[in-house]
Amino acid sequence: MTRREWLRQAACSVVTAGIPALLRAEPREQNADPAAITGAGSLKAHATARGLLTGAAVNTQLLRTDPKYREVLTQQYSIVVGENCMKFGPTQPKPDSYDFNDADSLVSFAEANNIKVRGHNFVWHEALPDWFAGTATKENAKKLLVDHIMTVGSRYRGKIHSWDVVNEAIWIQDGRPDGLRSSSPWFELIGPEYLDLAFRTARQADPNALLTYNDYGIENDSETETRKRAAVFDLLKRMKASGTPIDALGVQAHLDAASTNSFNKGTRELRDGARHLGLQVFITELDVKDDGLDDDDPATRDREVAAVYRSFVGRMLEGKEVKAVLTWGVSDAHSWLNGKRWKVKHPNRSQRPLPFDDQYLPKPVFFALRDSFDEAKRR
Ligand code: XIL
C-alpha cells in the first residue's frame, strides 16, 4: 500500500469510528447534529478528559463582529492565542506608544469564558512596525527589546498560560553552523545573545507564564526538517546549559497534505528531545494545506487533510510532554492559507485546512482531532 492509499483508508476509518450513525452519512456537514459536537462532544471536553488543552488562533476583528465565532470559541476551546494582536507591530505601532485594544479584547473575552491565553509573540523577524527599520540601531536594540517585553509582558502578567518569547530563530539557509537566522533584524542588531536576553526579560515580566521557543518545519521525517529540528534542539540545549529560563517548545505544525513525508522519526525526536531537556511541548499553529492535492472534490481533500491531522497529532500525543494542541484558526473561511501566497497550484480553489467549514459546521478534521484526543494517554 502506498502512503497515500494508507492515509485515505485511515482517514475513512478514523472519521467514522466511534461516531453515531446519524453523523456518518455523507456529506457529514449537512447531517451533523450540533448537539453531538458541543458540551460532552466538544473538542475541549475530549481534550480535558486526557489532561490536554485544545485551542485556536483568534482573529480579534471577528471576535468583535461575529457572534457565531464567539459561540464556537466558547464551546470548543480551553485555550486561545491571538493570530496577530499581540505581535510587536500591532502592540507598539509607534516607538513611544502602545495599542492594547485588540490584545485586551482577547484577554478579557478569554477571562470571561474561563479560557486560557497563549501570548504570541515577543521577538520575531516579521510583524515589526514600520518605524522599526529607521529607528532601531546596534546602540538601542537591546533597550527596544527589553522595553517591549517588559511593557507587554507586565500588562498581562498572571493572565498568560505561555508566551512565545522567540519565534522562528532558526533558518538553515542563512548558512551559519549553529543554524541561527542571521538575517533577522534582532540578530543583526544584537547578535546571538538576543535570545537569552529575551527569555530572561520575559521571565521578569511574567514569572508564571511558560516561556516557549516556537518554530516551524521541524515536524516530519524529511532530511530538511531533520536538520532544522536538530538545530532547534542544539539551540535549546545551549540555552538550558547556560541557565536561560525556558519551559517549552512550540511546534507550529503548518503541514501539507500533498507531502509524502511521514511523522515517525520526526515526532519521536520532538518528544524525546523535549523530555530530555525537561521541556513541555505545545502544538501551536496546526493547519494542513491542500493546495497541492489534485483532486477537486472537497470531500476527498477533507479526508486527506483529516488523515494528516490524525497521523501527526496521534504520533505527537504518544508523548505525555505534549500538553496542548492549537489550530491556526477555526474556520476555513478565515484561514491565512486562503491568502494568495499559499494558493499556488490551485489559485481559484479555497483551501480547507481547519476543523470547521465556512458555516462553522464540523469537518472530518474536527473528528480526527477528537479521535486523536480519545486515543491519547491521560497526562
Ligand atoms: C500569520 C497570520 O496568520 C497572518 O494573518 C499574518 O498576516 C502573518 O502571520 N507563523 C507564525 C504566525 O508564527 O504568527 C503566522 O501568522 C503564521 C506563521
Q: Kindly give the pairing relationship between strand 53-58 and strand 116-123.
A: unpaired
168 is catalytic: yes
Match 457572534 to its residue by C-alpha cell. 67
Residues 232, 170 contacting (CB under 8 angstroms)? yes
| Reported pTM | 0.92
Supply the pLDDT for residue 27.
41
Pocket test for ligand 1, best of 166, 255, 336 (most atoms within 8 A of CB): 336
Q: Tell me: the pLDDT tens digits for 250-301? A: 999 999 999 999 999 999 999 999 999 999 999 999 999 999 999 999 999 9
User: 84 CB under 6 A from ligand 1?
Assistant: yes
Angle CA 273–184–338, to nearest 5: 80
- Residue 335 CA to ligand 1 centre (angstroms): 10
Q: 168, 219, 304, 321: which one is catalytic?
A: 168
Supply the pLDDT for residue 135.
98
Give the contacts of 292 (CB within 8 A, at least 6 positions apart).
Answer: 256, 257, 258, 259, 345
Supply the pLDDT for residue 33.
61
Q: Tell me: the pLDDT tens digits for 26-44? A: 344 444 565 689 999 999 9
DSSP secondary-structure letter at 356?
A: B
Match 553552523 to its residue by C-alpha cell. 177
User: 83 CB under 6 A from ligand 1?
Assistant: yes
193 is catalytic: no
**Alpha-carbon gap, residue 324 to 282, rounded angstroms:** 5
3-state secondary structure of 285: strand
Q: What is the DSSP string of 126-195?
A: SS--THHHHH--TTTHHHHHHHHHHHHHHHTTTS-SEEEEEE--B-GGG--TT-B-TTSHHHHHH-TTHH
Regions of the chain short of the pLDDT cut 50:
1-31
Supply the pLDDT for residue 32.
53
Residues 154, 191 contacting (CB under 8 angstroms)? no
Q: Kindly give the pairing relationship between strand 248-251 and strand 254-256.
A: unpaired
